[in-house]
Chains A and B, each alone.
Chain A
């Protein structure tokens, strides 16, 4: 439940960011630059442009959650459909798709994401597209494995004998039975995607300044380690806190929903 509480805090912070943040996250205030945490009006201090770090961390949660949720929703849908067809129809379709998945997985995830992002160009929209292109394979492989185990069950054979169409069998009889693993992997993937977005932005691709994203804030903070430790510390803490919450939530979901484990 700790995971759920953390996730709830992050969701509320991002939804109500304009009400929680004490100031505009992009408003520069030169005379106020590099103020330490606890200075008047700046609980987390200020950055090299005098912007309030707490406001930027709160607004950064919006970017992270947006990227995490949208990517997992779209990549999950694509991967699920591909996995359903691959597993159900098998034969050459399955061979082709699985070799494609093998090739995809033979490139390190973050490197592939960086290359695609460099090709597509920077910015929030392209980060989401990049992570969808790299993220769907996990869902495809998972769903395909589940379908292989399900497709020879009696109730599927019965549906076939009753003359139901292949599409109806796939979407009405198989899909509902692979929903649990999809939900579990989705919750765990959101944290992976959020960290991936931060990594891409940290390395100079992805979401660009002045938009407040945890990754580019960490990149800025790294350049001021010797005179402003807080600039790298707080965005990173927010990122780690969110990832931890999502992982704990995902583990709890798995323990609760997976009958093999909850036994």
Chain B
């Protein structure tokens, strides 16, 4: 177990390190960073002076090692458009994104798991048919369009809810519905198919033969074993949500990490973009590791020795 843990952490560190390297090279692809820092009418001498001062005259290896050593201390340089440093800006937006992502995931699971389990238990019934149609729609409808339609109906036409912003409970409703529509559909489909697989196994037949109630068979035996796939998907989706609520945050003017990154990209504030991207890659890698370890808790048959 310990050996596996060390190996897995080592693999995670490699992925994070490679992500950091990718971020370093992205900076150069984005154009000369010095020109982005200076006003449009800067003279050639001013550009040369700034380049020397910031160390862009050094060889690429020297620059790379300096970048990595600073990044390990959380120093990604200043934002080009804001008074704060890039890391300060990114961290200041994390709570808003975390709030949205966590609530969306919890609501999605609360909606999806019962739908998936009931659909599987009553395969082919009217409930199952309706659930299949709804989940197919949920996955096909683009999130940003659904968001706009919700604003059109609930904010513009009915004037019940605000069009965007953060601060009150009302502000959360539409973004959460938008995110839940997609993620609940995905979780429900996954739950249905894994529970269907599990229901065909011998131990479920045995549980039924023992005379256990159908509810107990479903929730205690089938769902527990189907939860491996659900947890895997959950870990992956949460990672995607933390950075991938980009569109929902933009549609609802939600002041989170995703919206900050879109604004920074439009303003070509690349230090902020790369810091945010590295942060998301780090969270993603950590969640992957957490998912692997969580398997041990859920399924005692899994052993990493």
Contacts and interface: CB of A to CB of B under 8 A. Distances in A.
Interface of A: 99-100, 102-103, 106-112, 114-115, 118-119, 191, 195, 198-199, 202-205, 218, 221-222, 225-226, 229, 232-233, 236, 239-240, 243-244, 247-248, 251
Contacts of B26: 115, 119
A79 B29 CA distance: 23
Nearest to A191: B140
Given A118-B30, A118-B273, A239-B145, 8 more contacts: A102-B15, A107-B243, A107-B284, A110-B244, A111-B246, A111-B258, A233-B149, A243-B141
B212 interface: no
A232 B285 CA distance: 37
Interface of A is mostly: helix
Contact of B19 (A107, A108, A229, A248): A107
Nearest to A245: B140
A221 B240 contact: no
Interface string B38-69: 00000000000000000000000000000000
B144 interface: yes
Contacts of B139: 247
Nearest to A104: B22
B250 A111 contact: no
A118 B36 CA distance: 14
Contacts of B31: 119
Interface of B: 14-15, 18-19, 22, 26, 29-31, 136-137, 139-142, 144-145, 148-149, 151-152, 156, 239-240, 242-244, 246-247, 250-251, 258, 261-262, 265-266, 268, 273, 277, 280-281, 284-285, 288
18 contacts: A99-B14, A103-B15, A103-B281, A106-B281, A107-B19, A107-B277, A108-B244, A108-B246, A110-B247, A118-B266, A198-B142, A203-B246, A205-B265, A229-B152, A233-B152, A243-B142, A247-B139, A248-B136
A106 B285 contact: yes
Nearest to B31: A119
B268 to A, nearest CB: 7
Contacts of A251: 136
A218 to B, nearest CB: 6
B145 A111 contact: no
A203 B243 CA distance: 15
Contact of B145 (A108, A112, A232, A244): A232
Contact of A106 (B19, B137, B140, B251): B19
Tell me the dominant secondary structure on chain B's binding face.
helix
A26 to B, nearest CB: 23
Contacts of A204: 266
B142 A108 contact: no
Nearest to A118: B265
A109 B244 contact: yes
Given A107-B243, A111-B243, A225 B140 contact: no
A31 to B, nearest CB: 26
A236 B156 contact: no
Nearest to B281: A106
Contact of A103 (B19, B141, B247): B19
Contacts of A226: 156
Given A119-B30, A202-B247, A107 B280 contact: yes
Contacts of B268: 118
Which residue among A114, A191, A204, A226 has the maximum number of chain B CB atoms within 10 Å of its CB? A114
Contacts of B141: 240, 243-244
A108 B277 CA distance: 9
Contacts of B140: 191, 240, 243-244, 247
Given A100-B18, A108-B243, A115-B265, A225 B30 contact: no
